[in-house]
Structure 1
Amino acid sequence: MTTEERLKNHFSQKPHIPDTAYVANEAVLIGDVMLGEFASVWPGCVIRGDINFISIGARTNVQDGTIIHLADDYGVEIGNDVTIGHGAIIHACKVEAECLIGMRATIMDGAIIGRNSIIGAGSLVTPKTLIPSGSLAIGSPAKVVRQLSEEEKANIKNWALKYVKVAAAHKAKFQSG
């Protein structure tokens, strides 16, 4: 499929935003974007599904200023209960469930972040890198430095659940009828 055909196909689609999700008024979602139940997208985010698809899981929070985009060859898949820190760049990659992507981290084309992993703030995950499940990866380029403890894994899930509550409060205050 040519880029022009991809644009026509994906631009014809509108973002799917369930009633339980929160999308800040200052966020921009374009094209083939699907949010899961209770997901949240905060001010200043740009999520652009113009040439491929973007899928964001249930209870996942995409914090302020994050950019999510894709490529002809790779869409974006983000699992359930993921926290994406402020100002991150998520480009044409897969982030499995229950991960924490640190503030200002960048994840590039074809990378896969395994379940229950943390990518440290400011880290760069280079194209086609595989971060194994349960890892802490930091640096530029990001390297696995150790496996996460069970407590750290639980904290990732708890952080996502906390953001569900925060999003509900914001939705009630700023987007009620």
Structure 2
Amino acid sequence: MTTEWRDLSEAEAKLWPKARLGGALLGLAIVTGVLTLMLLILLLVAGWKLTTGGVEEFVRAFAGRSRFAYIGLVSAISVIALMIWSAVSFSLILARLRFAPAVMATGAGFAFLIGVASSATAQWLIVSQSEQDVWTYAVAVLPVTPQWLGSLALTIGTIGYLVGGVRPNAYFRRRVALPSA
């Protein structure tokens, strides 16, 4: 069953509260804005460190074969993926582009997959460094499984809201769902 839509008139769009930034969409804008600010600060600090001779510290932090270097590198990958998604999403919310919900939903899916893959990779690297068997990997992954499932639930909810929610459709696409018969 597909949803039927109708475009909002200019008068409706100005008067209807759902066509404005508010509710969960405003919450998403605030969180993605904070993460975007954090990304900008991170880039400024990293740029400053690299230009003032901090290259050795950066290389030393991720070099070697220590478990902590692996965990740090893999964690950085998932955090950076989340921050990039946040920066793109925040920009799309401010620009109010019609295709924003689809791009944001796709990005949320990719950020989730990168987070799970990088976490599983970190666990595998830790286990492989200790020369343990596959069962040790299973035991190492078991504690992070609830986090993965929780992230999956939040990702599915975010995607569902962005694609089919009343406010995202009214705010970005200037349309409203027709009542089903």
Q: Give the TM-score taking structure 1 as reference length.
A: 0.25
- Greater relative CO, 1 or 2 (CA 8 Å, sep 6+): 2
Q: Give the TM-score taking structure 2 as reference length.
A: 0.25
Between Structure 1 and Structure 2, which shows a larger proportion of strand residues? 1
* Structure with max Cα Rg: 2
